[in-house]
């Protein structure tokens, strides 16, 4: 099916009869306006883009998190957590100072989690003692769901190697029973003597730890008056424990080492090692905590994608085509792409952030420059691009296929500087190497050749010693400004209502 041309929609988008659209284009001459409203395409040829090394991936992930926190992506889940994150991440400019603050905050969060877990384990101690009594008297256990749950409960108190052994013994007994074997099994067949000794020691350790905790200043700080308060404390403080864990894992990703990105085999609370790296493990935990927060889930998916891509496609020679477009089908989805580097303007995100998405689609002063990897397209469309005029060929490719082939994009906006038009280029989003200056060079080359070359207007980015004026949006929800400083580390200005300076 051929892509629609949206002729009437484009007439509305650039209509001088509309007061706001007219103001958005007021600084352009008729000749400049004719260039601006058209799509433009350049074949950038083949570019050798370095693969993302580990240090580059770490920096990219850290910058994504700083941006997400500063823009409030974590606040809807927990205002308290968001405030803590801002305190150690969002307001510290010095990398060294940020690292020091993060490590100190991680240590505090770890203490909070450990203390809570001591109380939680103490609450379950009576059950563990009862089970241990049955195990020591050679009680027979039926091979059923109840015993499976009992085994999992006991394994939580065993070292990883012993918990793996107990699981294996139970699995072996269960498999034997499924082929006309015995339907019950003796405790000694499931819990060897060494494991029983470990459980006895663990019970003693928990009792001692609880005694120390009750005499500490922490217990009075959190309102834990004595053993009678344990159950109420666990129920009351469970959300706080989850918040501390989320805080810890965000900080852990910030402070990750090279090994955290590539080393698998994470072990957690007696469970056997997994094929996850520490970063992937932290992302998994955070996805559970932020389950209803679609905007921060997008950030976490970006982190997971970046971690997976580490050192992949190193030195890959890519055939890149760039296109400036105003296609509403692309612009409505521009916050989701490129895959692995979506933004808060994802249509599937939080309305408090993506309510500005319609400005991308409706406003005459906004367009997107998109970068496509030709070899991600089908052979049919590669042939089309090679044998037809480039812009016309690109228009014939279904937008779904183009979006899947997108590897980078940036938003461009017409602004004014001392009354004359300038083109403001926002920070780019790319699934490729974020440290490679080639990407920004390509965006800037495209903007200069088309908009400086054919319109005669200057190209500007954020972080300059002058301000530009941006026109108001048609969108009642305002327009999203991504480029106050021109890089993801500092973050953008967020949603703006009316005209503004930056």
Fill in the DSSP letter of residue 216. Answer: S
pTM of the model: 0.67
Mean pLDDT of 445-468: 87
User: Which of 121-125, 188-192, 384-388, 476-480 bottoms out in mean pLDDT, i.e. has the lowest?
Assistant: 188-192
d(CA 398, CA 255) in angstroms, rounded, equals 42
Q: Find out whether the peptide bond into 338 is cis, omega within 30 degrees of 0.
A: yes
pLDDT grade, residue 108 (50/70/90)?
A: very high
For residue 272, give the 3-state DSSP assignment. coil
Q: Which of 444, 406, 445 is nearest to 425 (CA)?
A: 444
pLDDT at 225: 86
Q: Is the pLDDT of residue 255 over 80?
A: yes
> 127-150: per-residue pLDDT in tens?
999 888 887 777 888 888 898 999
pLDDT grade, residue 490 (50/70/90)?
A: very low
d(CA 98, CA 129) in angstroms, rounded, equals 45
pLDDT at 368: 94
Residues above pLDDT 70, as percent of the chain = 87
pLDDT at 470: 93
> 441-456: per-residue pLDDT in tens?
888 889 999 999 999 9
Q: Which long-range contacts (CB under 8 A, 24 or more apart) does 76-83 make?
A: 76/293, 76/295, 76/350, 76/352, 77/289, 77/290, 77/292, 77/293, 77/296, 78/243, 78/246, 80/243, 81/243, 81/246, 81/247
Q: Is the pLDDT of residue 92 over 90?
A: no
d(CA 305, CA 285) in angstroms, rounded, equals 16
**Can you give the residue ranges of every domain in the chain?**
7-53+315-501, 54-122+224-307, 123-210
Identify which has the larger pLDDT, 324 or 348: 324
pLDDT grade, residue 311 (50/70/90)?
A: very low
Contact at 8 Å (CB) between 421 and 391? no
Q: What is the dihedral of CA 374, 376, 380, 385, to 10 degrees?
A: -10
Contact at 8 Å (CB) between 108 and 248? no
Mean pLDDT of 274-303: 87
Q: Is the pLDDT of residue 120 over 90?
A: yes
Contact at 8 Å (CB) between 311 and 55? no
Contact at 8 Å (CB) between 74 and 68? yes
Compute how many other C-beta atoms are within 10 angstroms of the C-beta atom of residue 235: 10
Fill in the DSSP letter of residue 461. Answer: -
User: Which of 60-64, 378-382, 397-401 bottoms out in mean pLDDT, i.e. has the lowest?
Assistant: 60-64
pLDDT grade, residue 486 (50/70/90)?
A: very low
pLDDT grade, residue 489 (50/70/90)?
A: very low
Residues above pLDDT 90, as percent of the chain = 48
d(CA 392, CA 397) in angstroms, rounded, equals 9
Q: Find out whether the peptide bond into 402 is cis, omega within 30 degrees of 0.
A: no
What residues have CB less than 8 Å from 395, skipping those under 6 apart?
3, 5, 39
Identify which has the larger pLDDT, 54 or 499: 499
User: Residue 111 has which token pair?
Assistant: 């203490």
pLDDT grade, residue 212 (50/70/90)?
A: very high
User: Residue 234 has which token pair?
Assistant: 């666990």
d(CA 425, CA 413) in angstroms, rounded, equals 7
Q: Is the pLDDT of residue 337 over 70?
A: yes
pLDDT at 336: 86
């Amino acid at each position: 099916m051929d892509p629609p041309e949206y002729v009437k929609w484009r007439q509305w988008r650039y209509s001088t009869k509309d007061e706001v659209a007219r103001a958005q284009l007021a600084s352009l001459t008729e000749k400049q306006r004719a260039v601006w409203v058209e799509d433009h395409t350049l074949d950038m040829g083949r570019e050798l883009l370095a693969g993302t090394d580990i240090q580059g991936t770490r920096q990219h992930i850290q910058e994504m998190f700083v941006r997400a926190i500063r823009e409030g992506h974590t606040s809807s889940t927990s205002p308290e957590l968001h405030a803590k994150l801002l305190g150690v991440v969002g307001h510290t400019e010095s990398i060294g100072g940020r690292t020091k603050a993060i490590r100190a905050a991680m240590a505090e969060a770890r203490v909070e989690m450990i203390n809570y877990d001591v109380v939680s384990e103490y609450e379950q101690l009576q059950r563990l003692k009862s089970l241990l009594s049955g195990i020591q008297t050679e009680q027979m256990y039926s091979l059923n769901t109840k015993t499976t749950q009992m085994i999992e409960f006991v394994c939580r108190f065993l070292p990883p190697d012993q918990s793996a052994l107990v699981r294996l013994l139970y699995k072996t007994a269960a498999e034997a029973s499924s082929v006309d074997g015995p339907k019950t099994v003796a405790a000694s067949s499931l819990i060897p003597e060494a494991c029983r000794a470990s459980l006895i020691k663990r019970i003693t350790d928990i009792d001692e730890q609880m005694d120390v905790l009750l005499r500490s200043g922490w217990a009075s700080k959190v309102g834990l008056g004595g053993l009678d308060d344990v159950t109420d404390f666990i129920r009351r403080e469970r959300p706080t424990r989850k918040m501390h864990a989320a805080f810890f894992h965000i900080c852990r990703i910030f402070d990750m080492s090279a090994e955290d990105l590539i080393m698998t085999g994470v072990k957690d609370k007696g469970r056997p090692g997994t094929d996850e790296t520490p970063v992937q493990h932290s992302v998994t935990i955070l996805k559970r905590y932020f389950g209803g927060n679609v905007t921060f889930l997008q950030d976490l998916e970006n982190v997971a994608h970046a971690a997976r891509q580490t050192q992949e496609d190193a030195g890959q020679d890519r055939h890149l085509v760039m296109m400036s477009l105003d296609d509403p089908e692309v612009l409505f989805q521009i916050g989701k792409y490129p895959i692995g580097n979506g933004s808060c303007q994802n249509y599937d995100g939080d309305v408090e952030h993506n309510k500005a998405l319609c400005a991308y689609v409706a406003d005459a002063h906004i367009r997107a420059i998109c970068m496509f990897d030709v070899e991600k397209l089908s052979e049919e469309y590669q042939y089309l691009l090679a044998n037809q005029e480039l812009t016309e060929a690109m228009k014939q490719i279904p937008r779904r296929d183009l979006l899947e082939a997108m590897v980078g994009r940036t938003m461009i906006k017409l602004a004014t500087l001392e009354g004359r038009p300038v083109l403001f280029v926002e920070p780019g989003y790319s699934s490729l190497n974020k440290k490679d200056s080639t990407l920004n060079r390509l965006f800037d080359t495209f903007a200069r050749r088309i908009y400086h070359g054919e319109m005669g207007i200057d190209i500007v980015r954020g972080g300059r010693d002058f301000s530009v004026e941006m026109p108001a949006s048609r969108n009642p929800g305002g327009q999203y400004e991504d480029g106050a400083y021109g890089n993801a580390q500092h973050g953008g200005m967020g949603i703006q209502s009316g005209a503004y300076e930056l």
